[in-house]
């Protein structure tokens, strides 16, 4: 929601400031639809040329994420800790048979049912369940170093994929000033074709052409660039929940004391979402 507030502030301050300084919005508003058609159409075409259908869907979903904000809240990070700890405890205490049902069919698992938001995150489910499958089928012969490599590779691959829409939007932002110049040049070409007109008419046409340059820079640095930056921030924030599961699995495999396991997970969470130690410790103790 704050992103929408930012858009309103951006428009009011730029156009309001221009009007308050004595500028006339009439010529700008008159030229704006045509310049936007040229620049927006060129930007859309470039995006279509350089993107797959899957990436275009990711870009659309990314814009929605910027409006909605991070996917996970503080309670979700606590849930990730409690869920992963519970599964690792079950594996160590009762063995592979006890945990197999929760790994093979998380949709019907009583443990996963306690945390529906995590169960709906396909990568989180795959990360935890696939890792536990490796531990089950290896019958205790796999090292924590090997599991760490697997977890790091999975998280890195997912992160690179998740970042693609942010990169696409940033590429679009980088192109917009140049596309604004394209629109301005076309306006100048149009003006030169009417060179026999009075100075007042030529001045209006040149002003309309310059709106293209303004619009390209305005969209790039005032709107599209910040959207890409915010999307990267959201993706980085949401990725912390996967580090929570990673740290619990590895610390448990290395037979670390329970408080250390919990603290390993808690400190993987940034300050904005990080729960207090007592919340984690008391909550985990009550989730046995």
Q: What pLDDT does residue 270 have?
A: 92
Residue 1 in domain: no
Write out the two tokens for 175: 């192109």
Residue 2 in domain: no
Residue 20 in domain: no
Q: How many domains does the chain have?
A: 1
Q: What pLDDT does residue 56 have?
A: 95
Expressed as residue numbers, the domain containing 144 is 28-288
Rounded CA gap, 144 and 205, in Å?
69
Q: What pLDDT does residue 287 have?
A: 57
Residue 187 in domain: yes
Residue 13 in domain: no
Q: What pLDDT does residue 140 have?
A: 65
Rounded CA gap, 49 and 33, in Å?
23
Q: What is the pTM of this model?
A: 0.87
Residue 274 in domain: yes
Residue 3 in domain: no
Rounded CA gap, 179 and 175, in Å?
6
Q: What pLDDT does residue 53 have?
A: 96
Residue 18 in domain: no
Length of the chain: 288
| pLDDT means over runs of 10, the chain (288 residues) | 86 89 84 90 94 95 94 94 94 86 91 94 96 84 90 97 97 95 88 79 80 92 95 96 96 92 93 91 74
């Amino acid at each position: 929601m704050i992103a929408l507030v930012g858009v309103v502030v951006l428009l009011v301050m730029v156009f309001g400031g221009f009007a308050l300084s004595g500028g006339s919005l009439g010529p700008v508003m008159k030229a704006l639809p045509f310049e936007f058609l040229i620049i927006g159409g060129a930007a859309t075409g470039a995006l279509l040329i350089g993107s797959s259908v899957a990436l275009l869907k990711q870009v659309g979903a990314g814009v929605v994420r910027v409006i909605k904000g991070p996917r996970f809240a503080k309670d979700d990070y606590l849930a990730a800790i409690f869920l992963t700890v519970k599964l690792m405890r079950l594996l160590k205490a009762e063995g592979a048979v006890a945990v197999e049902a929760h790994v093979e069919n998380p949709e019907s698992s009583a443990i996963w049912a306690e945390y529906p938001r995590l169960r709906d995150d396909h990568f989180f489910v795959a990360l935890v369940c696939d890792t536990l499958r490796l531990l089950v089928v290896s019958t205790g012969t796999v090292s924590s170093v090997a599991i760490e490599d697997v977890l790091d590779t999975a998280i890195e691959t997912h992160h690179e994929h998740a970042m693609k829409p942010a990169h696409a939007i940033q590429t679009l932002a980088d192109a917009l000033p140049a596309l604004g110049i394209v629109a301005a040049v076309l306006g100048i070409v149009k003006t030169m074709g009417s060179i026999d007109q009075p100075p007042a008419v030529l001045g209006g046409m040149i002003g309309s052409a310059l709106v293209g340059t303004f619009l390209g820079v305005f969209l790039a640095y005032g709107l599209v660039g910040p959207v890409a930056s915010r999307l990267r921030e959201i993706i980085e924030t949401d990725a912390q929940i996967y580090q929570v599961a990673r740290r619990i699995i590895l610390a448990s495999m290395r037979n670390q004391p329970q408080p250390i396991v919990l603290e390993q997970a808690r400190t993987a969470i940034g300050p904005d979402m990080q729960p207090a130690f007592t919340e984690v410790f008391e909550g985990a103790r009550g989730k046995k």
